[in-house]
C-alpha cells in the first residue's frame, strides 16, 4: 500500500492512506542504507505486518525540521513583541528558496502597531512584493484556503511569532497549544515540540518547533546571491557577470542601494550571509 507519513514518534511512523492511519516501523534495511523516513515522505508499506517498505523519491528534504516534499513555507514574522527581525526573515526567505520551497511572508501582530509604524510596515510590505515575494498578514485569514489547498506547507519563524495561533485561526479544531510565556522569556523555548503534518483546508501544514535556526550549511555563496530576488535579478546589469555585489566596480546592486531602491536592511543582511559563509570556512 502507498501512504503519506504524517507523524513520527521515535521509531514509529504514522502513515495516512485512503483516509485511514497506520502505525508502522521501518525495516532493518532502512538503517543499513542510512535511510531515515521523514514526515512528508510518500512510502510503500505492508499494512498487515506494519512495516515501511520503500520511500518514494523526494522533491526536497529539510533537516530542521525533518520534513520532506515541502511545497511552500509560510514565514511568520511578528512586527512587534517580538519586534520584526529582518535578519531572520531574509535568512528564511533565502534558505527556503534555495530548497525550492516557495516562500510566503505572513506578518503578524499588526494590531500592536501605532499609525506611524503601520505606515512604515506598508512600505516594507510593498517593497517585498515588488521584489516578487508573496506577502499576507494574519488579518486576512480568508486568503489562506486558496494558498494551502493541495500543498504541503511548513510554518517557519521565531518562537512567539504566532505560528500556532495562525493555524488555530485557520482551523480552530486543531486546538494547538500557544504560549505567552515561552516568548516572554524569549530563550528560544518553543511551545511546539514535535513535527506533524496537519490536514488543513485541503492541504497539509507542518507546525514545527526549531525552524527559526536555519543556516547556510551546504549552500554556496553564489547560491545565497541567486536566492535573494534582488541580488539575482539585477546581476545582469552589473559590469561583471560573476559580480557578488560586494567590492566590485560597476555594481548595479550597490548603486541601487545607494539610491535607496534596494532596502538597506536587505543588502546588509546579504553581506552578513556572505560573511557568515566565509567564517564557516575558517
Residue 138 interacts with, from Zn ion, ligand GTP, Mg ion, none (CB under 5-8 Å by kind): ligand GTP
* Helix (H) or strand (E) run with residue 281 in it: helix 264-281
The yes or no reply on residue 231 touching Zn ion (CB under 5 A) is no
Q: Whole-number minimum distance, CB 170 to ligand GTP, in Å?
A: 12
Among 131, 179, 223, 265, binds ligand GTP (CB under 6 A): 179
Among 109, 225, 254, 266, binds ligand GTP (CB under 6 A): 109
Among 161, 170, 243, 274, binds ligand GTP (CB under 6 A): 161
Question: Between β-strands 134-137 and 203-207, what pairing exists: parallel, antiparallel or unpaired?
Answer: unpaired
Q: Whole-number minimum distance, CB 277 to ligand GTP, in Å?
A: 26
Question: For Mg ion, which is the closer residue by CB, 196 or 230?
Answer: 196
The yes or no reply on residue 111 touching ligand GTP (CB under 6 A) is yes
The yes or no reply on residue 164 touching Mg ion (CB under 5 A) is yes
- The C-alpha atoms of residue 35 and residue 32 are separated, in whole angstroms, by 7
Question: For ligand GTP, which is the closer residue by CB, 116 or 242?
Answer: 116
**Are the C-beta atoms of 60 and 49 separated by less than 8 Å?**
no
- The C-alpha atoms of residue 191 and residue 180 are separated, in whole angstroms, by 9
Among 78, 97, 158, 191, binds Mg ion (CB under 5 A): 191
The yes or no reply on residue 182 touching ligand GTP (CB under 6 A) is yes
Q: What is the 3-state secondary structure (H, E, C) of 215-255?
A: CCCCCCHHHHHHCCHHHHHHHHHCCCCCCCCCCCCCCHHHH
Grid-cell match 480552530, residue found: 172
The yes or no reply on residue 192 touching Mg ion (CB under 5 A) is yes
**91 Cβ contact partners less than 8 Å away, ≥ 6 residues apart:** 214, 269, 273
Residues that bind Mg ion (CB under 5 A): 163-164, 191-192
Residues that bind ligand GTP (CB under 6 A): 108-109, 111-112, 138, 157, 159-165, 178-180, 182-183, 190-192, 209
Amino acid at each position: 500500500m502507498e501512504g503519506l507519513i504524517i507523524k513520527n514518534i521515535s521509531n514509529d511512523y504514522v502513515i495516512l492512506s485512503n483516509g485511514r492511519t497506520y502505525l508502522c516501523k521501518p525495516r532493518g534495511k532502512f538503517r543499513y542504507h542510512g535511510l531515515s523516513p521523514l514526515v512528508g515522505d510518500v512510502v510503500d508499506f505492508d499494512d498487515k505486518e506494519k512495516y515501511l517498505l520503500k520511500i518514494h523519491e523526494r522533491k526536497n528534504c529539510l533537516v530542521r525540521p525533518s520534513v520532506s516534499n515541502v511545497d511552500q513555507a509560510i514565514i511568520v514574522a511578528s512586527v512587534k513583541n517580538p519586534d520584526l527581525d529582518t535578519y531572520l526573515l531574509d535568512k528564511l526567505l533565502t534558505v527556503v528558496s534555495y530548497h525550492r520551497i516557495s516562500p510566503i511572508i505572513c506578518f503578524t501582530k499588526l494590531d500592536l502597531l501605532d499609525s506611524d509604524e503601520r505606515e512604515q510596515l506598508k512600505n516594507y510590505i510593498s517593497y517585498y512584493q515588488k521584489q516578487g515575494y508573496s506577502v499576507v498578514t494574519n488579518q486576512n485569514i480568508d486568503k489562506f484556503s486558496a494558498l494551502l489547498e493541495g500543498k504541503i506547507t511548513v510554518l517557519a519563524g521565531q518562537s512567539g511569532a504566532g505560528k500556532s495561533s495562525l493555524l488555530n485561526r485557520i482551523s480552530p479544531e486543531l486546538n494547538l497549544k500557544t504560549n505567552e510565556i515561552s516568548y516572554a522569556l524569549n530563550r528560544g523555548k518553543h511551545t511546539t515540540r514535535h513535527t506533524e503534518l496537519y490536514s488543513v483546508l485541503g492541504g497539509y501544514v507542518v507546525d514545527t518547533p526549531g525552524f527559526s535556526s536555519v543556516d547556510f550549511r551546504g549552500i554556496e555563496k553564489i547560491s545565497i546571491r541567486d536566492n535573494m530576488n534582488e541580488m539575482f535579478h539585477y546581476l545582469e546589469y552589473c559590469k561583471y557577470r560573476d559580480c557578488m555585489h560586494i567590492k566590485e566596480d560597476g555594481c548595479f546592486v550597490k548603486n541601487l542601494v545607494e539610491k535607496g531602491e534596494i532596502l538597506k536592511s536587505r543588502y546588509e543582511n546579504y553581506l552578513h550571509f556572505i560573511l557568515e559563509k566565509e567564517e564557516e570556512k575558517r
